Amino acid sequence: MIDLTALPILILAQGGDDMSGLLSYLPLLAIPVLAYFMMIRPEQKKAAEAKKMLEGIKKNDRVETIGGIIATVVSVKKDQQEVVLRLDDKSGTEMRVRTRAIAGVLSRDGKSSDNAES
């Protein structure tokens, strides 16, 4: 019968290849690197594209807000991070929103890119 207190001494006495010990840690080191390239880096690229889109908003662009409202940009106040949107061309209804409330630009300079409008 083997004494369990002597087990660590037996393992150390066996020795072993030092390279195999280092290679066993390779998967543990590779996981954070893979996580960075698969999860963190794409989010950083997406955030940079969104920032570029918001900085590129100008008068007469058709935009959609995060609430689903589709409107035309009347003016952009970059210093206040505010955009004035025209909701209806006939009545002239306008509203002010923060630039971060813009979900996306549907078309530039009022040129419609979708055929679903009525």
pLDDT at residue number 91: 92
The token duo for 18 is 């030092």
Query: Do 61 and 48 belong to one domain?
Result: no
Statement: residue 11 has pLDDT above 90: no
Q: Note the pLDDT of residue 6.
A: 66
Asked if residue 85 belongs to a domain, the reply is yes
Q: Is residue 113 part of a domain?
A: no
In a shared domain, residues 86 and 97? yes
69 class by beta-carbon count within 10 Å (0-12 exposed, 13-18 middle, 19+ buried): middle
Residue 48 and residue 66 in one domain: no
pLDDT digits (tens, 9 = 90+) for 74-114: 999 988 889 999 998 899 899 999 999 999 999 887 565 54
How many CB atoms within 10 Å of residue 108? 13
Residue-wise pLDDT for 28-80, tens only, equals 888 989 989 999 999 999 999 999 999 899 999 999 999 999 999 999 998 88
Q: How many domains does the chain have?
A: 2
Residue 112 lies inside a defined structural domain of this protein = no
Which tokens hold the place of 118? 């009525």
The whole-angstrom separation of Cα 36 and Cα 30 is 10
Domain that holds residue 35: 16-54
pTM of the shown model:
0.61
Q: Are residues 41 and 68 in the same domain?
A: no
pLDDT at 24: 79
* 80 is a domain residue: yes
CATH code: domain of residue 68:
2.30.30
pLDDT on residue 69: 94
